[in-house]
Structure 1
Amino acid sequence: MCGTVEEGRPSPWTVSDLTTAERALLTGVRQWFRAGTAGAMASMRIGLNVAGVPNTALLPLFALLGTFAVAGARQPEIRCPACSRISADEAALLDSLAAVQSGDAEVAAQLFDRWLPPVALCMATDAMGELGGILDGARIFLPRRRAARLIAPASSATVVDLAMAAE
């Protein structure tokens, strides 16, 4: 069983709600946070290839993830690769890439600003732009999944309240 199932702030989505490309990217991010670039490279390449993501996406993805290795960066909550739930931070990472693809790099920078110091933030947004361009070239478009756009069912007492809803 996944040790992170009940930790942190959950998002309203599960892994099964994601597109094939989103699942591959999320799994790759989770693997990278567990094993680093060298330990995760082979499995990330296979997962991305299965989803139709070009191998050229690995370099900007590694550059993006590498910004979290810098001193002073706050680590986002990244769950284990087997976890079926998605954390609010993981949803924000996917949404930031979708924002870049839709031409809203400012929103992406605001989402990453919660974790990264200014220089790392510049590096991350550059890497996201490159990764978004590669995905665009492969005709892979990530959907925006902002929690603020969710409307609670009539039987629900509250609306989903996530930090990224305020962005």
Structure 2
Amino acid sequence: MANPNPAPNKLSDLSFPEQLTLWSLRFWSDGFRQNYSPYETLREAYARANCPAGLLALDNFLSLVVAGHSRVVDFRCPCCGGISEDEWRLLQSLALVQSGGGARIADLLSHFLEPATARIARTVIYDWAGELKESGLVLPMRDGVLAAIPVARAVTGTGSVLRVYANRGNMRLH
């Protein structure tokens, strides 16, 4: 998809790989919140998209989010309008890996994951992005989105990991 809209705010305005990824993320999350199994529907969706192994990577990543989030994560319900900043962080993390810019995903994932979880999740994101790409499901880079969403800078030092939150000129160290 050449030169996609930099920041669409509706599921229907996204490319098919983005739609599948966002919908499956939301459907899995909704199943977790509402206590139902989303797997049969997701298995069929990923099979129809010729990416059956993508479901395992999705499940692995979202299981990490459940176990190691650092704050409430804004993954919306399947029918919700709009796309949250956290959903964009995930979509763009996958796009970055697929385009060879995976070194930048730590800043995106560190926004809602604990440092140890973010390190583990990085490997899972690489697997998920690879499964999608091998099936022809390439997510577009959206520089306008990356510029618009606040990110947490993962700062590493000797034996410690710090997250620096920068938002509108204010900086806090946690």
TM-score range, shorter chain: 0.7 to 0.9
The residue identity in structure 2 corresponding to 1:34 is D
Q: CA deviation at 1:38?
A: 6.4
Per the alignment, residue 163 of structure 1 pairs with 150
TM-score computed with the length of structure 2 as normaliser = 0.73
Q: Paired residue for 1:77, among 74, 78, 93?
A: 74
After TM superposition, list the pairs within 5 Å mapping 1:13-162 onto structure 2: 13-36=9-32, 39-50=37-48, 52-71=49-68, 73-147=70-144, 161-162=148-149
Q: CA deviation at 1:148?
A: 5.1
Q: What secondary structure, in the 3-state scheme, does the structure 2 residue paired with 1:163 have?
A: coil
CA distance in 2, matches of 1:122, 1:138: 25
Q: CA deviation at 1:12?
A: 4.4
Q: What secondary structure, in the 3-state scheme, does the structure 1 residue paired with 2:9 have?
A: strand
Residues 75-116 of structure 1 deviation map (CA, whole Å, 9 limit, x = unaligned): 321111011311121111101110011111121121001111
C-alpha contact 1:16 1:84 (8 A) present in aligned 2: no
Unaligned runs of 5+ in 2: 1-6, 152-165, 168-174
Per the alignment, residue 5 of structure 1 pairs with none
Q: What secondary structure, in the 3-state scheme, does the structure 2 residue paired with 1:80 have?
A: coil
TM-score computed with the length of structure 1 as normaliser = 0.76
CA distance in 2, matches of 1:94, 1:144: 9
Identify if the C-alpha distance between structure 1 residues 136 and 17 changes in structure 2 by more than 3 Å, giving closer, same or farther: same
C-alpha contact 2:94 2:125 (8 A) present in aligned 1: yes
The residue identity in structure 2 corresponding to 1:133 is G
Q: CA deviation at 1:19?
A: 1.2
Residues 10-56 of structure 1 deviation map (CA, whole Å, 9 limit, x = unaligned): x6421111111211111111111121396111122223333x24111
User: 52-61 or 123-132, which moves further after superposition?
Assistant: 52-61
More strand by share: 2
The CA RMSD measured in Å over matched residues stands at: 2.4
Question: How much identity, in percent, do the aligned residues show?
Answer: 29
Unaligned runs of 5+ in 1: 1-10, 151-160
CA distance in 2, matches of 1:118, 1:126: 13
CA distance in 1, matches of 2:121, 2:140: 20
User: 110-119 or 33-42, which moves further after superposition?
Assistant: 33-42
C-alpha contact 1:12 1:147 (8 A) present in aligned 2: no
